[in-house]
């Protein structure tokens, strides 16, 4: 199943596959610097256990397949979006 690239992703592919990419002077230092930036951005994660209705979990799994990601990532993304006010929940 081929996935269509976004404009930004295609620009990256074109840049890397083209002749305009050049190496940086301090490659090891830059790798280290960007690795630290990535570590700082990822943040700490905590494992939690929750009980879900089996039917809800099956629907989440089906949705995750259609989105092309693991169901745990889908659940984590939903929680993250809710926690950051990007989606609302009405009781």
| End-to-end Cα spacing for the chain | 38
CA–chain centroid gap for 83, Å, is: 16
Query: Residue 19: what pLDDT?
Result: 82
pTM more than 0.95 = no
Q: What is the average pLDDT score of the chain?
A: 88
Nearest to 67 by CA among 80, 77, 54, 56: 77
Q: Which residue has the higher pLDDT, 38 or 82?
A: 82
Q: What tens digit of pLDDT does each residue of 61-71 get?
A: 999 999 899 99
Q: What tens digit of pLDDT does each residue of 34-55 get?
A: 888 888 777 778 889 999 999 9
Query: Residue 56: what pLDDT?
Result: 96
């Amino acid at each position: 199943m081929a996935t269509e690239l976004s404009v930004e992703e295609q620009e990256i592919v074109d840049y890397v596959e083209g002749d305009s990419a050049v190496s940086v002077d301090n490659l090891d230092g830059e790798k280290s610097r960007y690795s630290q930036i990535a570590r700082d951005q990822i943040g700490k994660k905590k494992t939690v256990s929750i009980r879900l209705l089996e039917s809800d979990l099956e629907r989440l799994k089906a949705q995750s397949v259609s989105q092309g990601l693991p169901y745990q990532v889908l659940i984590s993304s939903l929680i993250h979006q809710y926690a950051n006010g990007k989606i609302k929940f009405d009781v």
